[in-house]
Amino acid sequence: MNYLSYRLVIVLLTGIFSTVLLPVLVSAEPSTCYGTTSNGRLAEGVELPSKGTNFVTYSFVARLAGRTYIHSDVRDIIVSTYKVLEQEQPSKVYKYAETGFKNGGKFSPHKTHRNGLSVDFMVPVVDENGKSVHLPTNPLNKLGYNIEFDNDSHYDGMHIDYEAMAAHIVALHQQAKKRNREIWRVIFAPELQPNLYSTKYADYLKSHIQFSKKRSWVRHDEHYHIDFVVPCKQ
């Protein structure tokens, strides 16, 4: 093996270690959140896994930049939810997006995501053949955040999979409750929210999930923002 080949192997192994193995080996101390989602910070933040059987991060580069850290309780809720969905929605795939920095604090361009309790999830979609696919997230569409769905929930041959999305929100809430945690709110485009109530999960959503009814400063149609409730210090 020549020198250049050797260096390439070292770089690749270092990348694998930092993106996959390192989060498992770091401190197992539980996280502590401070303040609020819009004015807070985080201690002992943990990183979400880069991928799993049915999910993937929105950007490996953004992950390396430290933008997918979260409170350890929320991490456990998210990971266990994906495991549940492997059984309940075996043909569906999911993608998470921005969460926050390891130590929380200001997280531009977001107004929240500051204490480890806020998570963005890209909407699950199906292609023209009805197959569950990942919403494309790349620099050309601002990692997915620049995508705009029309009023019929279509974009570039894809359609929002409301059944998969509703199943995800319900499973997140149920996994949170199992850990004596809660979901505070879900932010999703108000004009698209009625589609969730056309799924088999409608009654559960109406009874347990609080959707924000006002328009946010940016349209939440390509992703849904979820704030979790975890005891925080002031």
The model's pTM is 0.87
Measured distance CA(70)–CA(130) in Å, rounded: 33
Measured distance CA(145)–CA(135) in Å, rounded: 10
b/e code 91-101 from CB counts within 10 Å (16+ = b): ebbbbbbbbbb
Measured distance CA(112)–CA(117) in Å, rounded: 9
Q: Which residue has the higher pLDDT, 14 or 150?
A: 150
pLDDT value of residue 219: 72
pLDDT value of residue 213: 87
pLDDT value of residue 217: 62
Four-residue CA torsion sign, 52, 58, 64, 67: negative
DSSP strand pairing (223-229 vs 118-122): antiparallel
Instruction: Please write the tens of the pLDDT for every residue from 136-153.
Output: 999 999 999 999 999 999
Q: Taking a C-beta distance cutoff of 8 angstroms, is the pair 97, 67 a contact?
A: no
Kindly state the helix (H) or strand (E) to which residue 229 belongs, with its residue range. strand 223-229
pLDDT value of residue 15: 44
pLDDT value of residue 24: 43
Q: What is the mean pLDDT of the chain?
A: 90
Mean pLDDT of 4-21: 39
